[in-house]
Amino acid sequence: MPRSFSGRNDDCAMANDFSDILSGTVSPEDLARQILTQDLNSTELLRAAVENPQLASTLEALAKDWLASTDVRLVARAIFFVEGLGLRTAVPHILHIIESGALHCHQAFPDGLELEPSGLRMSPSPGLRQPGTFRGYSIAQVMADVGLNLAVRGRGDREALLMATLRHPDLCSFSWKHLEGAHLADAVPFISVLLGVHPQLASEVATRYAILSPDSLLELIPHLGPVQRGARDAFAQAARKNLLRTGKVRIWALSQRALKTLSADV
């Protein structure tokens, strides 16, 4: 669903019905130029599109094209429109960009596209971005987060997007928050990437595996070799606590043995 906007509407946005865009007299190239040169305010355009289905459809088509642009300013505007309008149809396009390795958008998201009060900053928890806020994140991170938030549970493109982002060091924290019990077995080979970048998540990872997929926890342990010792210790403590609490004594014993073997080999 499109995002709702609070606060007063800008007088210019109220007065401009964007009839020139809807009539087709403005080409996609001219529209892109007007947006990039600030002749046409992206926030005003998005606000108007929320109330105008025809304008929203126009922006949807443009956003899908701009996602694959080599101009990172257009990519940023595309993500801005995709999130603001709740465009689930853009998820396959985001998946294709991430799977193809075309993540050239590691620059910081440009200023001036915040939808929420400017006082909001990055969340202290990895992968937890406030919708409508972009400051402090790269374009690739926002693209991944928007795609994961819009993807529909149970659909193949969502499952593929989860795995594609989890294996990427800059994006894995955004997919981790979406992983459910059914995904944990498939995620095993990539958890070391997550803990290599965010070792503070070790207890959370162990807890989720111990409760939701204890058999997969055993499969995960041999992959923890590259993870720093402190994170492995935190993982072991959380695994012990939650496996014993849920009565998985056999799996706890096997996991402790596997962790000791891992420590001896590293």
Residue pLDDT, tens place only, 124-149: 456 678 877 787 888 889 999 999 99
Q: List b or e across 123-147, with b for residues whose CB sees 16 or more CB atoms inside 10 angstroms.
A: eeebbebeebbbeebbbbbbbbbbb
The string of pLDDT tens digits covering residues 219-245 is 999 999 999 999 999 999 999 999 999
- What's the average model confidence in pLDDT over 67-94? 90
Structurally, how many domains does the chain consist of?
2
- What's the average model confidence in pLDDT over 65-83? 88
Q: Do residues 158 and 218 both lie within one domain?
A: no
Q: Do residues 33 and 162 both lie within one domain?
A: yes
Q: Do residues 42 and 113 both lie within one domain?
A: yes
Q: How confident is the model at residue 10 (pLDDT cuts 50, 70, 90)?
A: very low
pLDDT at 204 over 50: yes
CA-based Rg of the chain, rounded to a whole angstrom? 22
Q: Which of 150, 178, 206 is the last residue of a domain?
A: 178
Q: Calculate what percentage of the chain has a pLDDT beyond 90.
A: 48
Q: Do residues 189 and 170 both lie within one domain?
A: no
For residue 201, give both structure tokens: 């998540």
Q: Do residues 160 and 194 both lie within one domain?
A: no
pLDDT at site 248: 96
Q: Do residues 187 and 68 both lie within one domain?
A: no
Q: Do residues 97 and 137 both lie within one domain?
A: yes
Q: Which of 151, 178, 205 is the last residue of a domain?
A: 178
Helix (H, G, I), strand (E, B), or coil: what is residue 184? helix
What mean pLDDT value characterizes the chain? 83
pLDDT at site 114: 54
Q: Do residues 164 and 56 both lie within one domain?
A: yes
Going by C-alpha positions, the residue among 111, 112, 114, 104 that lies closest to residue 71 is 104
Q: How confident is the model at residue 203 (pLDDT cuts 50, 70, 90)?
A: very high
pLDDT at site 125: 59
Q: Give the structural domain span for 228.
A: 181-266
Q: Do residues 20 and 144 both lie within one domain?
A: yes
Going by C-alpha positions, the residue among 92, 90, 95, 96 that lies closest to residue 78 is 90
pTM of the model: 0.80
Number of Cβ atoms within 10 Å of the Cβ of 232? 21
Task: Find residue 108's DSSP bridge partners.
Answer: 138
pLDDT at site 9: 41
Q: Do residues 217 and 161 both lie within one domain?
A: no
Of 13-17, 98-102, 108-112, 258-262, least confident by mean pLDDT is 13-17
Q: Which of 123, 148, 178 is the last residue of a domain?
A: 178
CA 86 – CA 194 distance, rounded (Å): 28
pLDDT at site 111: 66
- What's the average model confidence in pLDDT over 249-259? 94
Q: Do residues 84 and 122 both lie within one domain?
A: yes
